[in-house]
Structure 1
């Protein structure tokens, strides 16, 4: 337990032989459950998980919070049983095998389902590649156990030192997705949404629809949108990353278009649920009207520029009208963003 709260750690692993064992062995002693999900690896990841689990059990004999029920190991989670095979618990480690490859988000979802079934108070996600400094874990857990936040996530962009350690191509991609996620989620102060070092309270995990979480690398962006709709408080915690010999399995040419489409869909869903269905706020109409007006303005400007109409004055008039529509559309979008920022301001905090 950590400060009176039971703690679970979810470790998704796909072809992480040579890394995942060290991560398991380095998990702090105050963690009560370690859910390690092998996402149909083709190397020796599964064997390494079992070996590390046995070593961890030997080191932490009789460790664990007796109030945490081992429902998962006893087959108590129906949704989990439909997607994965849960092996016997080895000490505090719960080894889980996916029946098919489900991606990073799918593995996180499986771990979340297991943590929900066990009823742990706070659930942490840690990558299996050793990039995350486990000595920083209390900084993620403190906002949760102190009741200051429902979800805490690492942020590598809050300090110049941490930003400098990030490879340039990752920084550019991260900055782009940060901006898109701000718009989609409504958490305008939150950065580095791709950071997989997170902690979530049991109540927040139970509130969101875990079974419908996105099952690709954009799961963390999707989760932020769902948390905002449910009014959950998010803490952005300054956190370094450790870049070593591991290789990213993200195919960026496929990743960016997929996540962008997902974010657009999530954005429209958030507007519908939060500002139209649950409670009405004009910012939803400002967003929609602004986007439509700006789109018409862009289209009209393009038609005016490439028009072959005989009258030299007509394209100019069309162009001016279209430009005015474009400016008006952008103004409505900016106004909607200002309202959106104000609505979620109380749900965000930064921890440096």
Structure 2
């Protein structure tokens, strides 16, 4: 994929952020594989017990490399945010996040940058589920866990056309990153998913980039119990906040009426029917046809309204690159 710029626009300055935590075995190889199109490489030592920052500083001779150090471990999200801040301060245009464990191919970097530079997206992320043949290499538990996470992420983030939400191979335009609340974004395992929620609140365009899954004999750390206990509440919270922001605080539409009215009719009809069914069962008499109709009608209408809201929400996925609009607003 070729990286091109619009006439009159300067060439993009590309930065790579590498969170560094116990990756001293692979990180030098990752840095060496990063192509010449990258201007800066930020290695963020997230209070690594192996002193990976000092290791890179002493062993790596690449002049593009800058080591950023944390006094306290902040998690992968905190490391990426620190890398974003450093890249923005240095005037970078596009920032790519690559892990330092060698699982992400730096040769794919242009695939992630090109849609942003070409004005097709503000944020790109990897999708390991694109090639069905390669999905078979993925451990079964990780495959199931990613499917569950993807469904929850679609609801909470509003990006219904995305999959593989935990994929950490990402790229973002600096102008869009400036509008993100870095201090509010989750700093640990929920980071990639929370990023999508925050991007939706500013109407950023996000697309998936097909990539192969690389798995060896390592044991998956993805645990279903962790998904349910740690992520479920956060997804519900983000879903409620997204609906409030997009449909009531910043904008009002027919869908703003469809959801509450649909839920009211759906729950009211179901509650009415349940109460009268219990009363009839206790009395030992069949429920009358009229009572059944009174309960069924609001349930049917309410379900239709909720489905209409869902269809509107799916069709409202941001498609226009935000960074182009921000560029036009500049004097």
Task: Tell me which interval the TM-score lies in, with the shorter structure as reference length.
Answer: 0.7 to 0.9
Aligned partner of residue 15 in structure 2, secondary structure: strand
Which residue is equivalent to 2:47?
Answer: 40
| CA-CA distance at 1:241 after TM superposition | 2.5
Partner Cα separation in structure 1 for residue 190 and residue 141 of structure 2: 18
Partner Cα separation in structure 2 for residue 49 and residue 291 of structure 1: 56
CA contact (8 A) 2:98 2:169 kept: yes
Cα–Cα, structure 1 residues 309 and 152, in superposed 2: closer, same or farther, change >3 Å? same
Which residue is equivalent to 2:37?
Answer: 30
From 309, 315, 331, the counterpart of 1:342: 315
From 65, 69, 73, the counterpart of 1:101: 73
Which residue is equivalent to 2:214?
Answer: 242
Out of 192-201 and 279-288, give the one that drifted further.
Answer: 279-288
CA contact (8 A) 2:45 2:51 kept: no
Partner Cα separation in structure 1 for residue 195 and residue 258 of structure 2: 25
| CA-CA distance at 1:257 after TM superposition | 2.8
Q: Which runs of 5+ in 2 are unaligned?
A: 5-10, 322-331
Aligned CA-pair RMSD: 2.9
Within 5 Å, which residues of 2 pair with 1:161-240?
A: 161-240=133-212
Partner Cα separation in structure 1 for residue 146 and residue 297 of structure 2: 33
Which residue is equivalent to 2:99?
Answer: 127
Cα–Cα, structure 1 residues 288 and 221, in superposed 2: closer, same or farther, change >3 Å? farther
Aligned partner of residue 310 in structure 1, secondary structure: helix
Aligned partner of residue 73 in structure 2, secondary structure: coil
CA contact (8 A) 2:265 2:302 kept: yes
Aligned partner of residue 207 in structure 2, secondary structure: strand
CA contact (8 A) 1:20 1:48 kept: no
Within 5 Å, which residues of 2 pair with 1:300-315?
A: 310-313=282-285
1:176-207, Cα deviation, whole Å (9 max, x unpaired):
11111112222111111111111111111112
CA contact (8 A) 1:217 1:255 kept: no
| CA-CA distance at 1:320 after TM superposition | 7.9
Q: Please state if 1:276 is matched with 2:245.
A: no
| CA-CA distance at 1:282 after TM superposition | 3.1
Which residue is equivalent to 2:7?
Answer: none
| CA-CA distance at 1:6 after TM superposition | 0.5
Partner Cα separation in structure 2 for residue 126 and residue 245 of structure 1: 21
Q: Which runs of 5+ in 1 are unaligned?
A: 58-90
| CA-CA distance at 1:137 after TM superposition | 1.0
Aligned partner of residue 16 in structure 1, secondary structure: coil
Partner Cα separation in structure 2 for residue 298 and residue 103 of structure 1: 45
Out of 327-336 and 184-193, give the one that drifted further.
Answer: 327-336
| CA-CA distance at 1:133 after TM superposition | 1.4
User: What's the TM-score, normalizing by structure 1?
Assistant: 0.77
| CA-CA distance at 1:313 after TM superposition | 3.6
1:101-131, Cα deviation, whole Å (9 max, x unpaired):
2222222222222222222100001112211
CA contact (8 A) 2:53 2:68 kept: no
| CA-CA distance at 1:347 after TM superposition | 4.8
| CA-CA distance at 1:160 after TM superposition | 0.9
| CA-CA distance at 1:95 after TM superposition | 1.3
Which residue is equivalent to 1:143?
Answer: 115
1:127-175, Cα deviation, whole Å (9 max, x unpaired):
1221111111111111011111111111111221232232221111111
Q: Please state if 1:262 is matched with 2:234.
A: yes
Equivalences, count: 312
1:254-302, Cα deviation, whole Å (9 max, x unpaired):
3443222222211121122222111112324433444455556677777
Cα–Cα, structure 1 residues 304 and 233, in superposed 2: closer, same or farther, change >3 Å? same
Cα–Cα, structure 1 residues 279 and 46, in superposed 2: closer, same or farther, change >3 Å? same
Partner Cα separation in structure 1 for residue 307 and residue 297 of structure 2: 15
CA contact (8 A) 1:9 1:35 kept: yes
Cα–Cα, structure 1 residues 41 and 324, in superposed 2: closer, same or farther, change >3 Å? farther
